[in-house]
Chains A and B, each alone.
Chain A
Amino acid sequence: MKLELRGITKRFGSLVANDQIDLVVNPGEIHCLLGENGAGKSTLMNVLYGLYAADEGEVLLDDEVVHFDGPGDAMEAGIGMVHQHFMLVPVFTVAENVMLGHEPTRAGGRLDLEQARAKVREIADRFGFHVDPDAIVEDLPVGVQQRVEIIKALSRDAQVLVFDEPTAVLTPQETDELMAIMRQLRDDGAAIIFITHKLREVREVADRITVIRRGKVVGEAEPTSTDAELASLMVGRSVELVVAKGEPQFSDALLEVENLEIVDRDGLVLVDDVSFEVRGGEILVVAGVQGNGQTELAESLLGLVEPSSGSIRLDGVELVGRSVDGFLREGIGFVPEDRSVDGLVGTFTVAENLMLDRLDGPPFVKGASLQIGARDEFARRAVEEFDIRTQSIHAPAGRLSGGNQQKVVLARELSRELRLLVASQPTRGVDVGSIEFIHERIVATRDAGVPVIVVATELDEALALADRILVMYRGRIVGIVPADTPRDVLGLMMAGIAPEEGSKVA
Chain B
Amino acid sequence: MSASDDRPAVPAESPSVDPPGQGAATHTTKEPENRWSTAFREIVGGSWGVSVGAVLLAILAGSILIVATDENVRAAAAYFFARPGDMLSAIGSAAGDAYAALFRGSVWNYRADSFADGIRPLMVSLNYATPLIGSGLGLAVGFRAGLFNIGGQGQMILAAIGAGWIGFSLQLPWPLHMLLAIVVGMITGALWAAIAGVLKAVTGAHEVITTIMLNHIAFYLLFFLLATPGLLQAPGSANPKTPPMQSSAVMPKIFGSGYHLHLGFVLALLAVAATWWLMERSKLGFTFRAVGENPRAARVAGIDVGRTTVWVMVVSGALVALAGVTQVLGTSTTGFSTDVDAGMGFDAITVALLGRSNPVGVLGAAILFGAFRAGGATMQAAEGIPIEIVTVIQSLIVLFIAAPPLVRAIFRLPKPGSAPRRKAGDPAKEVAA
Contacts and interface: CB of A to CB of B under 8 A. Distances in A.
Interface string A354-378: 0011011000010011101000000
Given A390-B429, A394-B426, A370 B420 contact: no
A259 interface: no
Interface string A395-431: 1111110100100000000000000000000000000
Chain B at the A interface: mostly helix, strand, loop or mixed?
loop
Interface stretch (A46-54, A183-191, A224-232, A263-271): A46-54
B281 A369 contact: yes
B21 A384 contact: no
B30 interface: yes
Contacts of A15: 420, 430-432
Interface in B259-312: 277, 281-284, 286-287, 289-290, 293-294, 296-304
B29 interface: yes
Nearest to A299: B300
Interface string A310-340: 0000000000000111011000001010011
B3 interface: yes
A349 B4 contact: yes
Given A324-B302, A357-B301, A391-B429, A396 B4 contact: yes
Interface size class on chain A is 35 or more
Interface stretch (A22-30, A81-89, A235-243, A439-447): A81-89
A345 B297 contact: yes
Given A324-B300, A348-B293, A85 B7 contact: no
B28 A342 contact: no
Contact of A346 (B23, B281, B300): B23
Contact of A348 (B4, B31, B281): B4
A121 interface: no
B47 to A, nearest CB: 12
A464 B23 CA distance: 30
Contacts of A397: 21
A85 to B, nearest CB: 5
Nearest to A17: B432
Given A16-B432, A399-B23, A370 B286 contact: yes
Interface in A138-194: none
Interface string B25-65: 11111110100000000000000000000000000000000
A396 B299 contact: no
A87 B21 CA distance: 12
B283 A328 contact: no
Given A53-B30, A215-B432, A341-B21, A304 B299 contact: yes
B84 to A, nearest CB: 40
A382 B312 CA distance: 31
B429 A347 contact: no
Interface size class on chain B is 35 or more
Contact of B298 (A19, A53, A345, A360): A345
A383 interface: yes
Contacts of A340: 19-23
Interface in A294-319: 302, 304
A328 B28 CA distance: 38
Interface string B326-360: 00000000000000000000000000000000000
Contacts, number: 194
A214, A324, A346, A369: which has the most chain B beta carbons within 10 Å? Answer: A346
B307 to A, nearest CB: 10
B304 A14 contact: no
B287, B293, B431: which has the most chain A beta carbons within 10 Å? Answer: B431
Contact of B283 (A16, A85, A339, A370): A370
A349 B3 contact: yes
A426 to B, nearest CB: 15
Interface in A25-55: 38, 42, 46, 51-53
A393 B427 contact: yes
A392 B290 CA distance: 20
B277, B281, B286, B421: which has the most chain A beta carbons within 10 Å? Answer: B286
A393 B302 CA distance: 23
A451 interface: no
B252 interface: no
Contact of A391 (B296, B302, B428): B428
A87 B25 contact: yes
Contacts of A400: 23
B24 interface: yes
Contacts of A336: 300
B304 A323 contact: yes
A382 B62 CA distance: 53
B273 to A, nearest CB: 14
Contacts of B287: 359
Nearest to A412: B301
B26 A87 contact: yes
11 contacts: A12-B419, A46-B25, A53-B30, A85-B23, A340-B21, A357-B301, A359-B286, A368-B283, A369-B283, A370-B281, A388-B429
Interface of B: 2-4, 7, 19-31, 33, 277, 281-284, 286-287, 289-290, 293-294, 296-304, 417, 419-423, 426-433
Given A12-B420, A346-B22, 17 more contacts: A14-B422, A16-B433, A42-B25, A84-B23, A85-B23, A214-B432, A215-B432, A323-B304, A325-B303, A340-B21, A344-B20, A357-B300, A357-B302, A359-B286, A370-B283, A391-B426, A394-B3
The 7 closest A-B pairs by CB, nearest first: A346-B20, A340-B21, A346-B21, A357-B301, A392-B428, A13-B420, A325-B302
